[in-house]
Structure 1
């Protein structure tokens, strides 16, 4: 799963790149007059171009959310596929996520159902049953930006380490005083909820602007993926004394 993170990301971002290349060709053609598709009489209007431009926000947000979803799935898969696992084996952060899932703290429940969930968690711990299912509440909910991503990594159990150049790129004002990911999130949500038209969304936006937005977004996401891979390969989802190479943990797990 870890090896798939980068591969899947590059495939997804290549789709956005291909689309922007098409927009570049369209913009270049418009400089010589109203662009037209080959062998088609209908011309592409300025408003139609703007509609095409606005779609980049949707594609980039899809890339952001799919990347974080895959990263979180990679963490849970690594943990549950690492052999028989008990609550005490998890890092404190991931154990908290497991408790939230078992106790269903992120769901609206009646008092009776809340009690049943608490009893199920209690029985699991008393019986010392191994963990077979581990889920990390994704959150986000249409609001993925660099702040939410950083908060999620803290919840999982590590500080996101982003290089200065990439950090500056993602926070550099792109439009309306917003950085790259904030802009992607904001315009995607406005489009999705009908608060702005596709034509309005692309007013005074060039393909060059969209290319820079895409470059800053993908550079940031690549480093996010690298951070998750380092976290998984370092077995940081396990309690410190349970990680491979820790002699105390190994002696307890494999007593002579």
Structure 2
């Protein structure tokens, strides 16, 4: 499964590279649209369109990261399920993640909660 995730990541990186190259050509080389069905009418691309295309690149990068992380976490979850690993057999780090996700007890900005919940877990 990880090999599939890596291949999909690589494929998407290549797509983003091609988009970036196109965007670079459009914005840095004063590209024009040519309409062959309209007597080769030419139209300059506006600065606003360039900004829109750049924001599209940011979205592509965000989606790449979000998708990759989501698939990796799903893969970890599936592995834990397939191997019948219980909560108490997981590392403390995975237990913290599990608690944060399932019970929303912990606040990322407060590390003091992490240790108190782990103490509750160990004492309980």
For 2:9 and 2:85, how far apart are their aligned partners in 1?
Answer: 29
SS in 1 for 2:41: coil
2:71: which partner in 1?
70
Q: How many residues align?
A: 102
2:120: which partner in 1?
none
Rate the CA distance shift 1:28–1:99 in 2: closer, same or farther, 3 A: closer
1:89: which partner in 2?
89
Q: Normalization by structure 1: what TM-score?
A: 0.35
Equivalent residues in 2 for 1:160-175, closer than 5 Å: none
- Identify unmatched segments of 5+ residues in structure 2: 106-113, 115-124
> Shift of the alpha carbon at 1:5?
2.3
SS in 2 for 1:37: strand
- Identify unmatched segments of 5+ residues in structure 1: 108-154, 156-256
Q: Larger strand proportion, structure 1 or 2?
A: 2
Question: Is it true that 1:37 corresponds to 2:38 in the alignment?
Answer: no
Rate the CA distance shift 1:52–1:100 in 2: closer, same or farther, 3 A: closer
Query: Which structure's relative contact order is higher, taking Cα pairs within 8 Å and 6+ residues apart?
Result: 1
> Shift of the alpha carbon at 1:10?
0.7
2:103: which partner in 1?
105
Root mean square deviation, CA, Å:
2.6
| Aligned partners of 1:29 and 1:35 also within 8 Å | no
> Shift of the alpha carbon at 1:38?
4.4
For 1:28 and 1:95, how far apart are their aligned partners in 2?
Answer: 49
Rate the CA distance shift 1:105–1:88 in 2: closer, same or farther, 3 A: closer
Q: Normalization by structure 2: what TM-score?
A: 0.64
| Aligned partners of 1:16 and 1:56 also within 8 Å | yes
Rate the CA distance shift 1:46–1:85 in 2: closer, same or farther, 3 A: closer
For 1:75 and 1:29, how far apart are their aligned partners in 2?
Answer: 45
1:56: which partner in 2?
57
Rate the CA distance shift 1:37–1:53 in 2: closer, same or farther, 3 A: farther
Q: Larger helix proportion, structure 1 or 2?
A: 2
